[in-house]
Structure 1
């Protein structure tokens, strides 16, 4: 999957990065009440030869730190020493949320529900607007790194847009353990890039505010797979990777009652219909309810919340059969 492009100059925040150059640009977005400037660090690697421009970002939700660490390591190891095209790397998009260990910005709004944003809107909307107008017009492909929220642990997975065949190709090249189509959410980064004609995938792995080594490594491997697949890096050698499993249908299994939640299966496990995934029990050991798999498939997310309410999402499972069971 290639993009024909001439050698291009990348321009961000008034700073230009010519072919063959690399630079760290700080894109100012706002100030704290103390007057301290808050800016988004943007690393740009512009190859000498023509090729596509790929945006790789993390920290759109400030408490989702696995992606931040993934890109930090890749920067430290000089992985983005590309031979053609350009890579724009944004390790922390939501600086405010990162500082406050929060998903959102101080006004309580979610930046990933505020795209494409407006110049005079809320803080979240202004961040989205600056990003959409400054960076996205120069991008051909996007990779957005996330984790599960609210104590949900996502097994490494890629989500793509069913309406965009190129995003599915990108998902296959990334080669996470699982990949599947998911709906575009209004105001999200991925929906905005879709409207702009930029194939984008979302890598979900781990949970918020907790490092997970496997998730970090899978993210690093997947990003490099994409850069190799686009001809921007030389082919990787070493261990042959297992082929990604495509999930044709997914479904949340929810708590049948309130109580203490005890999972009895591991994240990423293959399960069969009727298999006990866990149980919800009261605190007096008088009553418990077994939670069973509704079909053969794979568990790709587990809720690590120990005390749950009726209807809470506990297990996300998917099957390779192409039937939509989303609820």
Structure 2
């Protein structure tokens, strides 16, 4: 795949980018067909008790219903390697790396100037976005890995809800493993996006406002609106892609799932590469950070990693593999995409089921399990132990998340049910607003 000196460089780059796109489509087509045929074989094994299906796979391969996926993957890796070699180097500013241990030397800035940061290094900054009642600056901790060659700017935000913490160790581990000398582009991460909520160990802003319901904020609005506005202007708008990392809210638990617009090809690809247990089609509701980013032509997905107010190593590890996959896909790092151990359940829609009365709630199904229409999902008892209400699944679906708080008021959430269908609606929300 060597480059001929007679070929115009821009034409060559365009050709190899087209080749990579076509190989990715071919590889994805192959994987889809392989999965589909394996599911068909499983159906045969389930319903045909005495039938011999051992030779079915051999027949399917003989008829060439899909291409050689291993060869596709090798060609794709070679094409990406050639493309990475051709990307021009960025100018390296002769600035010393910031000290790792001395937190007092981390500078405070009021705007994020990525061009001014040194290439081939990791920089740590405090980004001022707000002033509290004493006139002191409220600052967001930001880590930047700037590569030595040009590429996209990928942003990550954690703890936009102040008690949703699994994104913090994910970012820490990612930046320990990333090598900026091999990086194409820039990786930016805010380890705690909602600082007032984080220090209060609460979901919302200092006054309780949910920042993920008021984006993109207002320059002359209320305190949380000003905070949201400055977050958008000083940080989010610097990104070409966004991964907004969340967990379940207090009193609930989540699977490892991604929320994304599955009609948009870029966000669909990001969600699949994230390797979640479940993908929920959701078209960026108004007021969310993801929605505000998408409105600014920044492809964005929400990654839900487990439960609030704790670190969960297994979920963090799996989510980190997904983030690395996205960076690989964008040709930012030289690694290869890590294939998942399982295919995610892709839900065309999802919604919460709510309690109609108050009492003591017991939710039956575990997260990431299937329920059938009419299956009991929860029971509500009075404080005297009498059965008040029984709740049933209204249709078949997968449990994306659920309540684990026994204290139930009228309107409390029971389970988040994901539904698998053949198509995606142009607008889809899951009741989070």
TM-score by length of 1: 0.88
Which residue number in structure 1 is paired with residue 178 of structure 2?
79
- Secondary structure at the aligned position of 1:69 is classed as helix
Deviations 1:10-31 (A, max 9, x none): 9944571243232112111234
**Aligned counterparts of 1:308 and 1:224: Cα–Cα separation in 2:** 40
Deviations 1:216-239 (A, max 9, x none): 223212211211222222335888
Which residue number in structure 2 is paired with residue 203 of structure 1?
303
From 109, 112, 125, the counterpart of 1:25: 125
Bigger fraction of residues in strand: 1
- Secondary structure at the aligned position of 2:247 is classed as strand
Distance 1:322 1:255, change over 3 A: farther
Distance 1:108 1:240, change over 3 A: closer
**Aligned counterparts of 1:287 and 1:175: Cα–Cα separation in 2:** 40
Q: Quick check: 1:161–1:184 contact (8 Å CA) kept in 2?
A: yes
- Secondary structure at the aligned position of 2:291 is classed as helix
Shift of 1:247: 0.6
Shift of 1:125: 2.3
Shift of 1:288: 4.4
Correspondence 1:301 to 2:406 = no
From 37, 46, 56, the counterpart of 2:137: 37
- Secondary structure at the aligned position of 1:266 is classed as coil
**Aligned counterparts of 2:88 and 2:127: Cα–Cα separation in 1:** 25
**Aligned counterparts of 2:249 and 2:192: Cα–Cα separation in 1:** 17
Q: Which moved more, 1:236-245 or 1:164-173?
A: 236-245
**Aligned counterparts of 1:276 and 1:70: Cα–Cα separation in 2:** 36
Which residue number in structure 2 is paired with residue 65 of structure 1?
165
Correspondence 1:274 to 2:374 = yes
Q: Quick check: 1:153–1:205 contact (8 Å CA) kept in 2?
A: no
Shift of 1:179: 0.6
Shift of 1:69: 2.6
Which residue number in structure 1 is paired with residue 282 of structure 2?
182
Distance 1:38 1:47, change over 3 A: same
How many residues are aligned here? 326
C-alpha RMSD over aligned residues: 3.0
Larger RCO of the pair (alpha carbons < 8 Å, separation 6+): 1
Distance 1:237 1:173, change over 3 A: closer
From 276, 281, 291, the counterpart of 1:191: 291
Within 5 Å, give how 1:149-188 maps onto structure 2: 149-162=249-262, 164-188=264-288
Which residue number in structure 1 is paired with residue 44 of structure 2?
none
Q: Quick check: 1:7–1:51 contact (8 Å CA) kept in 2?
A: no
- Secondary structure at the aligned position of 1:119 is classed as coil
From 283, 292, 295, the counterpart of 2:392: 292
Correspondence 1:51 to 2:151 = yes
Which residue number in structure 2 is paired with residue 134 of structure 1?
234
**Aligned counterparts of 1:190 and 1:14: Cα–Cα separation in 2:** 22
Q: Quick check: 1:117–1:126 contact (8 Å CA) kept in 2?
A: yes
**Aligned counterparts of 1:286 and 1:135: Cα–Cα separation in 2:** 53
Shift of 1:290: 2.8
- Secondary structure at the aligned position of 1:52 is classed as strand
Distance 1:78 1:27, change over 3 A: same
Bigger fraction of residues in helix: 2
From 210, 231, 243, the counterpart of 1:143: 243
Q: Quick check: 1:80–1:87 contact (8 Å CA) kept in 2?
A: no
**Aligned counterparts of 1:123 and 1:256: Cα–Cα separation in 2:** 34
Which residue number in structure 1 is paired with residue 101 of structure 2?
none
Name stretches of at least 5 consecutive residues in structure 2 with no aligned partner: 1-20, 22-79, 94-108
Q: Quick check: 2:347–2:420 contact (8 Å CA) kept in 1?
A: yes
